[in-house]
Amino acid sequence: MEQFSRTELLFNKEAMKKLKESKVAIFGLGGVGGYVVEALARSGVGKFVLIDNDVIDITNINRQIIATLDTLGQSKCEVMKKRILSINKEAEVETFQCFYNDDNASLFKFNTYSYIVDCIDSISSKLSLVEKAKQNQVPIISAMGAGNKLDPTLLQVEDIFSTSYDPIAKVMRHELKKRNIKHLKVVYSKEKPINIYKSNNLNNKRIPGSNAFVPPSMGLIIASEVTKDLINFHDERE
């Protein structure tokens, strides 16, 4: 398709056909997940499964690609679906207006997915998703913490067992060992989280600080990894 001709110059027709036929499930459409979807749609991925239970809030505007004054109060899934179709009208988009957990895992046909992207905040849900992916032999990539960080140049792609500095990854490593899961590709930051709670006298430590550059950058890196894995891309410069 013409709108993907510049991408085809980097890959080839066969790769673009593969992307068009691929079905990618993105769990979580926030600051990270929204940019994953955006980049995959613009890369020619043809089939999407979108999972998020939330509506767009005014506090999302500082970092989420679908959050504007015009979309406040609307379903993230439906706004993201509309955006995908505005990029590629031939795309197939399935939506689930829910928060993924063990209780609703049976709703999802994991064995039909080409790739799973985990952008969920809940560690228990992340662990469940990783287990389902491994059981169904579907490649998965997980986003670690993007909150309370400022430097997008410190983002890295690693196996989770090689990560450091990230509190979510630390807990995940411990729990994955108990489940005998030995590998998980993640994007994480080596930046030490900023203690915003002390500097702002905040008692609610569930509210992280965020910005317009770290979560989106993490999302774009994830999309890059997914795209390259789907087409088995090897850089000829190496």
Q: DSSP letter string over 27-89?
A: E--STTHHHHHHHHHHHT--EEEEE---B--GGGTTT-TT--TTTTTSBHHHHHHHHHHHH-T
What are the backbone dihedrals phi and psi of residue 182, each rounded to the nearest 5 degrees, phi first? -100, -15
What is the bridge-based pairing of β-strands 155-159 and 140-143?
unpaired
- How high does pLDDT run on average in the chain? 95
d(CA 157, CA 67): 27
pLDDT tens figures, 92-126: 999 999 999 999 999 999 999 999 999 999 999 99
Per-residue model confidence (pLDDT) at position 160:
98
Q: Which fold has domain 17-230?
A: Rossmann fold (3.40.50)
Who's near 73: CB < 8 A, 6+ residues apart? 55, 56
Q: What percent of the chain has pLDDT over 70?
A: 95
Q: Band the pLDDT of 162: cuts 50, 70, 90.
A: very high
Q: Band the pLDDT of 198: cuts 50, 70, 90.
A: low
The answer on pLDDT for 33 being more than 70 is yes
The answer on pLDDT for 197 being more than 90 is no
Who's near 32: CB < 8 A, 6+ residues apart? 119, 143, 146, 215, 216, 218, 219, 222
Q: 160 or 207, which is more confident?
A: 160
d(CA 218, CA 28): 13
Q: Band the pLDDT of 235: cuts 50, 70, 90.
A: confident
Sign of CA dihedral 179, 191, 27, 157: negative
d(CA 145, CA 163): 12
Q: Band the pLDDT of 207: cuts 50, 70, 90.
A: confident
Which candidate, 23, 39, 27, places its Cα nearest to that of 218? 39
The answer on pLDDT for 236 being more than 80 is no
Per-residue model confidence (pLDDT) at position 195:
84
- The one-character DSSP state at 98 is S
Which candidate, 61, 106, 44, 54, places its Cα nearest to that of 77? 54
Report the pLDDT averaged over residues 67-85: 98
d(CA 105, CA 59): 29
d(CA 42, CA 87): 7
